[in-house]
């Protein structure tokens, strides 16, 4: 059984690491906050005080972190993982990261005979808890196959997309779609509210119509409840949209709608802070319209299907 270091035990990382431990793999976990590892240590994981310690003699080092800067520091900073990774091991990046940065670190890793896979995942924390996050994989096919069992323990379905960079592009595209859908959901519900419709019945009707989507069905309930808890912050949303806009500039593609949504999310972040959940962009609409979008019988958090 392969051994993995796992760095980053936030909302998503803690769930993925738990599934990896449950799958029977040897796992050393690392986070800036050791208390984030308590449940994992009880489940059988080992503690590593630094990324370098997590990497020691591991077959792979998995990172699930909030920013490219955090990944860079974890791999290349003081007590970083890369300097302690053995030849033949693999860095598995499950964060949504900048393609250029992944390729830069991959070139440094290659000098140490360390391979790289990008494996960003999509689907929401409620699916992560059940091991049902969709994973996009970019990198060498043989390296992907070596670590496939570990990925299957954490996630599924899994899509191998080709060379390094391909998975990051598709992950950005999926997040563009869901965030555009979030803004559209807010506007649609507000129109229904102003038109005097029952929002609970509207939700049920739309969910059975051509207007539905996974994001509408998952995110509208926490808007109607008022908790707004999608488990996805405005800072993370804007990071991902920033990557999307960067791809647009690279490919000379305007991405006008994405740019508008980015502007609205920035306005929401300026109003509520970067740690606020993404549907605060809808709360901003509520405050501008002077009415709340609420209905009885909806849960505070996204419930697994």
Q: What is the mean pLDDT of residues 139-160?
A: 97
Question: In 3-state terms, what secondary structure has residue 222?
Answer: helix
Q: Answer yes or no: is 296 within a domain.
A: no
Q: End of a domain among 121, 137, 164?
A: 164
Backbone angles phi, psi at 203, to 5 degrees: -60, -50
Element (H, E) at 117: strand 115-118
How many residues comprise the chain?
Answer: 305
Asked if pLDDT for residue 127 goes beyond 90, the answer is no
The pLDDT value given to residue 305: 56
At 187, list the tokens: 């506007």
Alpha-helix runs per DSSP H in the chain:
11-22, 38-43, 51-55, 68-76, 99-110, 125-128, 141-146, 148-154, 166-194, 199-207, 214-225, 234-250, 256-272, 280-289
Residue-number span of the structural domain to which 270 is assigned: 169-289
Backbone angles phi, psi at 54, to 5 degrees: -65, -30
Asked if pLDDT for residue 46 goes beyond 90, the answer is yes
User: Do 27 and 157 share a domain, yes or no?
Assistant: yes
Q: What is the mean pLDDT of residues 126-130?
A: 84
Asked if pLDDT for residue 304 goes beyond 70, the answer is no
Q: What is the mean pLDDT of residues 121-142?
A: 91
Q: Answer yes or no: is 138 within a domain.
A: yes
pTM: 0.91
Lowest mean per-residue pLDDT among 27-31, 120-124, 148-152, 245-249: 120-124
Q: End of a domain among 113, 148, 164?
A: 164
The enclosing domain of 261 has a CATH number of 1.10.1040.10
Burial of residue 248 (CB within 10 Å: 0-12, 13-18, 19+) is: middle
User: Do 127 and 189 share a domain, yes or no?
Assistant: no
User: Do 228 and 115 share a domain, yes or no?
Assistant: no
Q: Answer yes or no: is 304 within a domain.
A: no
Q: How many domains does the chain have?
A: 2
């Amino acid at each position: 059984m392969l051994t993995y270091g796992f760095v980053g035990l936030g909302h998503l990382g803690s769930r993925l690491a738990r599934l990896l431990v449950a799958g029977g793999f040897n796992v050393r976990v690392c986070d800036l906050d050791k208390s984030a590892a308590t449940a994992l240590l009880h489940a059988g994981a080992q503690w590593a005080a630094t990324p370098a310690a997590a990497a020691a003699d591991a077959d792979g080092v998995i990172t699930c972190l909030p920013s490219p800067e955090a990944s860079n520091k974890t791999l290349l900073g003081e007590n970083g993982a890369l300097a302690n990774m053995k030849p033949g091991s693999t860095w598995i990046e499950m964060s949504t990261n900048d393609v250029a940065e992944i390729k830069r670190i991959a070139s440094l890793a290659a000098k140490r005979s360390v391979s790289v896979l990008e494996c960003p995942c999509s689907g929401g924390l409620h699916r992560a808890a059940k091991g049902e996050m969709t994973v996009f994989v970019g990198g060498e096919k043989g390296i992907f196959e070596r670590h496939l069992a570990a990925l299957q323990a954490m996630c599924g379905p899994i899509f191998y997309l080709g060379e390094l960079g391909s998975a990051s592009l598709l992950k950005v595209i999926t997040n563009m779609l869901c965030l555009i859908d979030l803004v559209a959901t807010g506007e649609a519900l507000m129109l229904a509210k102003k038109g005097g419709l029952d929002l609970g019945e509207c939700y049920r009707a739309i969910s059975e119509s051509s207007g539905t989507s996974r994001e509408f069905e998952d995110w509208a309930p926490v808007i109607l409840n008022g908790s707004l808890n999608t488990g996805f912050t405005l800072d993370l949303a804007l990071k991902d949209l920033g990557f999307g806009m960067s791809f647009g500039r690279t490919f000379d593609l305007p991405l006008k709608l994405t740019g508008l949504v980015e502007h609205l999310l920035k306005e929401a972040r300026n109003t509520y802070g970067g740690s606020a959940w993404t549907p605060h962009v809808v709360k901003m609409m509520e405050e501008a319209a002077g009415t709340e979008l609420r209905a009885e019988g909806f849960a505070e958090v996204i419930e697994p299907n």
